[in-house]
Amino acid sequence: MKKLLVLLLVVGLSVSVFAGCTKKQVTVTKIKIGLVTDVGGRGDRSFNDSALRGLETWAAKVKYVQGGGYEALSDSDFTASIPDDLKDKGIAALNVEPVVLESKVQEDYIPNIQNLVEQQKCDLVIGVGFMLASAIGESAVKYPDTKFMLIDSTPADASGNSVDLANVSSYLFKENECGYLVGAIAGYATETNKVGYVGGMEIPPVLRYEAGYKAGVKTTNSKAQIFGQYANKFDDPALGKIATDAQITLGADVIFHAAGATGNGMFQAICEKGAPYWGIGVDVDMGLDPKLCPDRTVTSALKHVDLATFDAIKSVVDGTFKGGVTTLSLKDGGVGYAPDHVKDVLSADQISKIENLKKMIIDGTITVPEDPKAVDTWATPTTF
């Protein structure tokens, strides 16, 4: 009887110990990633939204809930969010927590960054856009133990002078290359030999878009006249619409914008006019956006800010983050053009020539100008 009681006691004790072990939970701390938008903010359907897709949709696998907060993203929605040209880039959810602060004016940049570093204790702080160069530069000096990512520029001091900082990873793009391809498409697509361009602000990335676009039009249609206008804002669709209406009045039937949310007004004008007018989107495939003008979007100049954002976050998660500059181009899939309605507008021979131009850029046969002022004296390829 005593042996039985001892045995039961031992078994009971073992079960209790084992049961106690099963109740213990291992808590995995998520890496916190902060992001400061440019003034275009969430919902620009362009540049800022692309960066947010890299952080929220891909890295965190969550969906933003209007008014604040997140809900989990389904596997099917996650897969559907990855465009065909990025399917082979190894995009998979990471164990991160997103913290996003929107900038309404430029004066919000530094306070937002400070909040993410000091209050939110973010492991990585992302600045979306050229306009944040000084804010990121100054903050990176102030917070040397925090990692920073800067899109579209290298960090700068308060005077705008570039500074080399080990805790800042900068991502630049060859906008002139994808701008060139959509310009070449516009040169073929126009029926009036008049095309348009609407820019946001005259900053280097937008100027590269303009230079590439003009060089592309010049390549496929040397007779085409190009109208250009800058709105000097990235967050005013009304200005984009006014500029587009003015260019349509002058005879432009294909118009490209590189103006963030301001460019949404271009699509509004194109949709109101309908055929034969075509719009060309920027940064993301705007031909897939039902809230813009998909039926009249001939193509879009693709710039994978989403991939750059995801890659920078992944480097923090993997422990491989390093400062310096990464430049994404046609060669590595960082930029490109969307198919949209290209096959409906261009002939098979013209599409083949566009692809030949793309290959020539990749192999170095064509060097696309980066400065709009250089386009007039730039020699177009004679055979392609």
For 84-129, the pLDDT digits (tens) are 989 999 999 999 999 999 999 999 999 999 999 999 999 999 999 9
Residue 17 in 3-state DSSP?
Answer: helix
CA distance linking residue 114 with residue 141, whole number of Å: 12
In a domain, 318, yes or no: no
**pLDDT range class, residue 3, cuts 50, 70, 90:** very low
Whether 195 and 272 map to the same domain: the answer is yes
Q: 154, 173 in Cβ contact below 8 A?
A: no
Last residue of a domain, one of 138, 155, 173: 173
Domain count within the chain = 2
Rg (CA), the chain: 25
Last residue of a domain, one of 140, 173, 206: 173
Residue type, 323: G
Whether 157 and 197 map to the same domain: the answer is no
In a domain, 4, yes or no: no
Whether 269 and 287 map to the same domain: the answer is yes
Query: Residues 127-136: pLDDT tens digits?
Result: 999 999 999 9
Residue 119 C-beta-side C-alpha neighbours within 13 Å: 9
| pLDDT of amino acid 68 | 84
In a domain, 16, yes or no: no
Whether 199 and 285 map to the same domain: the answer is yes
327: exposed, middle or buried (C-beta count within 10 Å: 0-12, 13-18, 19+)? Answer: exposed
Whether 99 and 167 map to the same domain: the answer is yes
Whether 153 and 293 map to the same domain: the answer is no
Whether 232 and 367 map to the same domain: the answer is yes
Whether 143 and 285 map to the same domain: the answer is no
Strand-pair partners of 281: 300
| pLDDT of amino acid 27 | 52
Range of the domain at 229: 175-302+347-374
Least confident of 12-16, 121-125, 326-330: 12-16
Query: Residues 140-187: pLDDT tens digits?
Result: 999 999 999 999 999 999 999 999 999 999 999 999 999 999 999 999
- Mean pLDDT of the 50-56 span: 98
In a domain, 202, yes or no: yes
Output the pTM of the full model: 0.90
* Residues with Cβ within 8 Å of residue 32, at least 6 apart in sequence: 96, 97, 99, 120, 121, 122, 123
Classify strands 31-36 and 124-128 as parallel, antiparallel or unpaired: parallel
- Mean pLDDT of the 225-238 span: 96
Give Cα separations from 123 to 71, 146, 352 (angstroms): 22, 6, 46
- Mean pLDDT of the 221-248 span: 97
CA distance linking residue 267 with residue 269, whole number of Å: 5
Give Cα separations from 110 to 140, 143, 146, 214, 297 (angstroms): 11, 12, 14, 36, 37
In a domain, 15, yes or no: no
Instruction: Give the start-end residues of each E strand in 37-146.
Output: 62-64, 70-72, 96-101, 124-128
Whether 44 and 152 map to the same domain: the answer is yes
| pLDDT at residue 18 greater than cutoff 80 | no
Whether 188 and 246 map to the same domain: the answer is yes
Last residue of a domain, one of 153, 173, 193: 173
| pLDDT at residue 32 greater than cutoff 70 | yes
* CATH number where 39 lies: 3.40.50.2300
Taking every pair of Cα atoms in the chain, the longest distance, rounded to a whole number of angstroms, is 107
Whether 131 and 69 map to the same domain: the answer is yes
